[in-house]
Amino acid sequence: MTAVAENSTSAAETKAGEIPSFDVTLRIRRLDPDRSDEPFWEEFTVTAHATDRVLDAMHKVKWEVDGSLTFRRSCAHGICGSDAMRINGRNRLACKTLLKDLDPSKPIVIEPIKGLPVLKDLVVDMEPFFASYREVMPFLITGGNAPTAERRQSPEERARYDDTTKCILCAACTSSCPVFWTDGQYFGPAAIVNAHRFIFDSRDEGAAQRLEILNDKEGVWRCRTTFNCSEACPRGIEVTKAIQEVKRAMITRAF
Amino acid sequence: MATVTVPAPRSPRSTRTRRTTRTNVEMLGWMFMRLSGVLLLVLIFAHLFVNLMVGDGIKAIDFAFVAGKWASPFWQVWDLLMLWLAMIHGTNGVRTIINDYAERDGTRLVLKTLLYLAFVVTVVLGTLVIFTFETCPAGAPTELLPSFCTE
């Protein structure tokens, strides 16, 4: 008896709160190195719900239409930073971009992030990006003996670099940077953000070394403050501000 | 049976080609752009005001006007500063643009060589003119010369 009653109410509820669905076209820039070195555009039209993200539509394509569509994604919830791509000309995470925010009446243009070599479809070679990241030594550097208890830090000291701890290394910022596009030698915003995270950490003693590395010809001085990185960051990190703070630290160190 | 060698996973793919420089050149360049920019604002707008607005304005500019200005050490230093600061500022700006936009090393080299050549020619010529300028050249018609030549 009760089961029947429950069923009827839940059916009525789904009808009342039904999620509107619509057809959306994904225009994807693809590359199949086994077939040709020339990238090509392909359009897929799938039915999606208003609550769907770009990633859901791409899953639908991959799982139901064309299994050869290649892209990275791991957690699919904006934490792992695997699915950064250029959606309608802006770097975003496919898992954090809702279709309904993108005007689904027009085709949604999806490209791999720029400035890094494309391996297949939306998968790029992240190695140059991570090489720069490794170069700024993104780990705690301390001298002397390790303390027997934890290394203490006041809330104010922690707040100093809070913004740059949010980085998930998705490369949305670095691959939105016009300096990085033409000159892959530039460290790029992400490496500087992660250096900032340690340079301004009161427990860290490697700030001088990191500043020295970033004072390089291809370091922070190549930043043109175009704010592309701050705009691209899916975590809302004020990337350009962090870069300027590193610049200021260098100037106050030198004079 | 053919043996297939599987490359070791996660092996470092590429050694860094980036040359590490341990100098402050880029930082000094960056600071120079800011400081010279502020100075140039003052120098250039005062220069334009004196030349184009004061007195008869633009109609007053002729050989005598320029010669009269360069007879004074004040304007010599002013113009020399303007020349040098503007040329270094502009050259450094174009240098960064070349660095940002030229993708091939060869293109970079050619463009920068041309740029530095233009810089040297302009600065040397300009400096030479300011220092060796003949205010009252002998045998020139007096009405074209500044008034103090005939006194």
**For B5-61, how does the pLDDT look when each residue is reduced to its tens digit (9 = 90+)?**
665 555 444 455 555 556 788 899 999 999 999 999 999 999 999 988 887 878 888
Query: Residue B42, CB half-sphere, CA atoms under 13 Å: how many?
Result: 7
A positions 52-81 inside 8 Å of B (CB): none
Q: For residues A126 and B57, what is the distance between their CA atoms, to the nearest angstrom?
A: 61
**For B58-103, how does the pLDDT look when each residue is reduced to its tens digit (9 = 90+)?**
888 888 888 888 888 999 999 999 999 999 999 999 999 998 888 8
- CATH fold label, B26-144: 3 helical TM bundles of succinate and fumarate reductases (1.20.1300)
Beta strand pairing call for A21-30 and A108-111: parallel
- What are the b/e assignments for B41-78, b being 16+ CB within 10 Å? eebeeebeeebeeeeeeeeeeeebebbbbbeeeebeeb
Q: How many residues does chain B have?
A: 151
pLDDT at position B133: 86
Q: What is the ipTM of this complex?
A: 0.75
Whether A176 has a pLDDT exceeding 90, the answer reads yes
d(CA A226, nearest CA chain B) in Å: 13
pLDDT at position B136: 81
Whether A94 has a pLDDT exceeding 90, the answer reads yes
Q: Full-prediction pTM beyond 0.90?
A: no
**Which residue in chain B has the smallest CA separation from A132?**
B16
Retrieve residue A36's tokens. Answer: 């040709």
pLDDT at position A17: 67
* The last residue of a domain, from among A74, A104, A124: A124
**For A111-126, how does the pLDDT look when each residue is reduced to its tens digit (9 = 90+)?**
999 999 999 999 999 9
* The last residue of a domain, from among A63, A93, A124: A124
Burial of A176 (0-12, 13-18, 19+ CB in 10 A): buried
Same structural domain, A140 and A238: yes
CATH number of the structural domain spanning residue A195: 1.10.1060.10
CB-nearest to A131 from B16, B25, B101 is B16
Instruction: Write the DSSP symbol of residue A17.
Output: T
Number of domains in chain A: 2
Same structural domain, A36 and A145: no
Same structural domain, A157 and A187: yes
* The last residue of a domain, from among A90, A124, A158: A124
Residue with the larger pLDDT of the pair A7 and A114: A114
Domain enclosing residue A86, as ranges: 2-124
pLDDT at position B14: 47
pLDDT at position B2: 64
Average pLDDT over residues A75-95: 95
Average pLDDT over residues B117-145: 88
pLDDT at position B13: 47
**Cβ neighbours, 10 Å, residue B4:** 5
Cβ–Cβ contact A127 with B under 8 A: yes
Residue with the larger pLDDT of the pair A59 and B25: A59
pLDDT at position B150: 74
* Mean residue pLDDT across chain A: 90
Same structural domain, A33 and A106: yes
Same structural domain, A141 and A119: no
**For A227-241, how does the pLDDT look when each residue is reduced to its tens digit (9 = 90+)?**
999 999 999 999 999
B positions 103-132 inside 8 Å of A (CB): 103
Q: For residues B71 and A99, what is the distance between their CA atoms, to the nearest angstrom?
A: 72
Same structural domain, A66 and A165: no
> Which residue type is seen at B144?
L
pLDDT at position A1: 43
Same structural domain, A165 and A67: no
Same structural domain, A96 and A163: no
